[in-house]
């Protein structure tokens, strides 16, 4: 899936795309047609950079309910002719998940759209999973024949059916259909279940893929062969070395880390770093200076895995380097540095934002480290990241860091975080939001009563509004 266009953070669309709590608050005060247009835009054009881990569906579903929006735009998107051409589940997954939440809230029409799409749509398996959590037995039984009709009778069709049953995220519909009174339905589903169980057993008994011989040279050669095929095997190869290498093999491994082929070099660097070998740091520095991109990446990753105090000491010397190793040194100090390293971590944070922007991957670790070290003067940078990043996960990390560093957080960003799309961010807000704002008290009570809210959030809420709490 291509990277979506994200509107500026100061616009209603930009706020909703990011899943910020302010998006909901602004939408509720904006002209209703404008708010619904922005909301529908987000649902049918998934704004997430990583749709598999970032949450938006509950956030958008709640706003649909608050705005009293209709489902016409979602229906048009699901049943557009493009559904026949673009069958990637990322095209319709968000819309289906939103419908699932709306169905849980009892929104009229949501369940019917899910049933219809499960019967006719390309991403039917996702719709069926949503229905498995929310539909009754009669509704699911009615879908048995249209779903089974997707798999033509014959060896190929039965194999595809067995794979669908085996890989189903929610097994409830298949279990229900296996006991269906219609013989044609029950017989096919039971046979598919048996085949899927047998396939799973076969995979467990005979794991696929090449395996190295049990010697240091063979493991290094296997890693190199994998790299030549386009498969990075240095991580499993390093684990193999840990099982077969002895003290007498150290010289061979050190030489491979210094000047071996790329696959062997990556493997040796990883093994030596994981073994806390005293020579590993010098070899990592040499690899960054002379290695290919693959070797540099493996060396940097190996360095970040090292836990000893000597690695932290070396990071203090490397953090000023303008290369990948310098960036990694900043992350090491963020994770394992001492309070005296606060200035170095803050400098790394500022340089990352200045050089790569508010969505840089390195910021995840640096933001966490800023909060861990309690760097109060980092609050302005953290606020900038919070506002501008398109990643709801990074924004949540910035919120946690602000809670540890910014005295204004409880009365500021913590309030809007109660409406955030990520449950972990809502949990932070529930623990810190100042209750002097009447919106906070009302929102806490609503979250506590909402059956769709995550248990961790409700636990945090009840710690504020329970019978023994004095904050509210």
Average pLDDT rounded to a whole number, residues 253-277: 94
User: Is 303 in contact with 270 (CB distance < 8 Å)?
Assistant: no
The alpha carbon torsion through 262, 263, 269, 274 (nearest 10 deg) reads 160
pTM above 0.95, yes or no: no
Residue 109 pLDDT exceeds 70: yes
Average pLDDT rounded to a whole number, residues 165-174: 92
HSE-CB of 424 using CA atoms within 13 angstroms: 13
Residue 123 pLDDT exceeds 50: yes
The model's confidence at residue 471, banded by pLDDT at 50, 70 and 90, is very low
User: Is 330 in contact with 344 (CB distance < 8 Å)?
Assistant: yes
What is the predicted pLDDT for the residue at 307?
86
Average pLDDT rounded to a whole number, residues 55-67: 96
What is the predicted pLDDT for the residue at 366?
97
Residue 60 pLDDT exceeds 90: yes
What is the predicted pLDDT for the residue at 208?
52
pLDDT tens per residue across span 69-79: 999 999 999 99
What is the predicted pLDDT for the residue at 199?
52
Residue 20 pLDDT exceeds 90: yes
CB neighbour list of residue 263: distance below 8 Å, 6 or more residues apart: 220, 223, 224, 225, 226, 227, 228, 233, 234, 237
Closest among 63, 97, 64, 62 to 78, alpha carbons compared = 97
Percent with pLDDT over 90 in the chain: 81
Measured in whole angstroms, the distance separating CA 305 from the mean position of its chain's CA atoms is 21
| Rg, C-alpha atoms of the chain | 27
The model's confidence at residue 153, banded by pLDDT at 50, 70 and 90, is confident
Q: How far apart are CA 159 and CA 218, in angstroms?
A: 38
pLDDT tens per residue across span 179-226: 989 988 899 999 888 885 545 545 544 555 555 667 899 999 999 999
Looking up tokens 């062969």, which residue turns up? 225
CB neighbour list of residue 131: distance below 8 Å, 6 or more residues apart: 100, 111, 114, 115, 118, 139, 140, 143, 173
Q: How far apart are CA 221 and CA 218, in angstroms?
A: 5
Domain ranges of the chain: 12-205
Residue 386 pLDDT exceeds 90: yes
Which string of b and e fits 351-368 if b means at least 16 CB within 10 Å?
Answer: bbbeeeebebebbbbbbb
DSSP-derived letter for residue 470 is: -
Closest among 417, 353, 411 to 380, alpha carbons compared = 353
pLDDT tens per residue across span 24-46: 999 999 999 999 999 999 999 99
What is the predicted pLDDT for the residue at 469?
53
Mean residue pLDDT across the chain: 91
DSSP string, 20-39: -HHHHHHHHHS-HHHHHHHH
Residue 435 pLDDT exceeds 60: yes
Residue 65 pLDDT exceeds 90: yes
User: Is 349 in contact with 377 (CB distance < 8 Å)?
Assistant: no
Q: What six digits make up the tokens of 360?
A: 């840089």
Residue 392 pLDDT exceeds 50: yes
What are the CA-CA distances from residue 132 to residues 119, 144, 149, 442 (Å)? 14, 12, 19, 32
Average pLDDT rounded to a whole number, residues 135-155: 93
Residue 457 pLDDT exceeds 60: yes
User: Is 451 in contact with 133 (CB distance < 8 Å)?
Assistant: no
Average pLDDT rounded to a whole number, residues 269-279: 92
Start-end of H helices in 135-261: 137-141, 144-148, 155-167, 172-178, 183-205, 216-228, 234-244, 250-259
What is the predicted pLDDT for the residue at 453?
94
Percent with pLDDT over 70 in the chain: 94
What is the predicted pLDDT for the residue at 197?
55
pLDDT tens per residue across span 291-319: 999 999 999 999 999 988 899 999 999 99
Q: How far apart are CA 429 and CA 457, in angstroms?
A: 9
Closest among 135, 121, 122, 127 to 98, alpha carbons compared = 127
């Amino acid at each position: 899936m291509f990277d979506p266009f994200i509107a500026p953070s100061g616009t209603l669309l930009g706020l909703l795309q990011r899943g910020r709590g302010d998006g909901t608050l602004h939408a509720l005060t904006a002209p209703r047609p404008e708010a619904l247009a922005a909301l529908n835009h987000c649902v049918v054009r998934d704004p997430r950079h990583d749709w598999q881990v970032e949450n938006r569906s509950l956030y958008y579903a709640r706003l649909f309910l608050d705005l009293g929006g209709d489902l016409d735009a979602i229906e048009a998107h699901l049943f557009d002719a493009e559904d026949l051409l673009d069958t990637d589940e990322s095209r319709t997954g968000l819309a289906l998940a939103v419908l699932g939440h709306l169905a849980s809230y009892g929104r009229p029409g949501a369940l019917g759209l899910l049933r219809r799409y499960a019967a006719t749509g390309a991403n039917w398996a996702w719709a069926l999973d949503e229905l498995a959590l929310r539909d009754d037995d009669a509704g699911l039984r009615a879908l048995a024949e249209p779903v089974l009709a997707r798999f033509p009778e014959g060896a190929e069709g039965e194999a595809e059916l067995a794979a669908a049953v085996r890989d189903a995220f929610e097994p409830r519909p298949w279990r229900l259909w296996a006991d269906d009174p219609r013989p044609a339905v029950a017989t096919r589903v039971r046979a598919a279940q048996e085949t899927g169980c047998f396939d799973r057993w076969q995979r467990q008994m005979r794991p696929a893929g090449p395996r190295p011989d049990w010697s240091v040279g063979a493991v290094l050669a296997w890693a190199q062969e994998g790299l030549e095929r386009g498969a990075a095997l240095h991580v499993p190869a390093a684990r193999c070395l840990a099982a077969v290498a002895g003290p007498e093999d150290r010289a061979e491994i050190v030489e491979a880390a210094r000047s071996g082929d790329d696959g062997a070099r990556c493997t040796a660097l990883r093994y030596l770093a994981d073994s806390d070998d005293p020579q590993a740091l010098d070899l990592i520095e040499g690899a960054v200076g002379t290695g290919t991109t693959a070797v540099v990446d493996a060396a940097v990753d190996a360095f970040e895995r090292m836990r000893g105090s000597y690695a932290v000491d070396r990071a203090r010397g490397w953090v000023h380097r303008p290369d990948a190793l310098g960036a990694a040194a900043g992350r090491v100090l963020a994770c394992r540095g001492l309070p005296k390293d606060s200035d170095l971590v803050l400098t790394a944070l500022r340089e990352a934002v200045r050089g790569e922007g508010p969505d840089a991957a390195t910021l995840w670790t640096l933001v966490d480290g800023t909060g861990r070290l309690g760097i109060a003067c980092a609050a302005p940078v953290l606020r900038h990241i919070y506002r501008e990043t398109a990643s709801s996960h990074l924004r949540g990390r910035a919120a946690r860091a602000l809670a540890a560093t910014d005295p204004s957080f409880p009365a500021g960003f913590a309030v809007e975080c109660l409406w955030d799309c990520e449950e972990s961010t809502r949990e932070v807000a529930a623990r810190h939001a100042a209750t002097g704002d009447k919106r906070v008290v009302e929102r806490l009570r609503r979250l506590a009563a909402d059956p769709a809210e995550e248990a961790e959030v409700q636990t945090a809420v009840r710690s504020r509004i329970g019978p023994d709490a004095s904050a509210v």
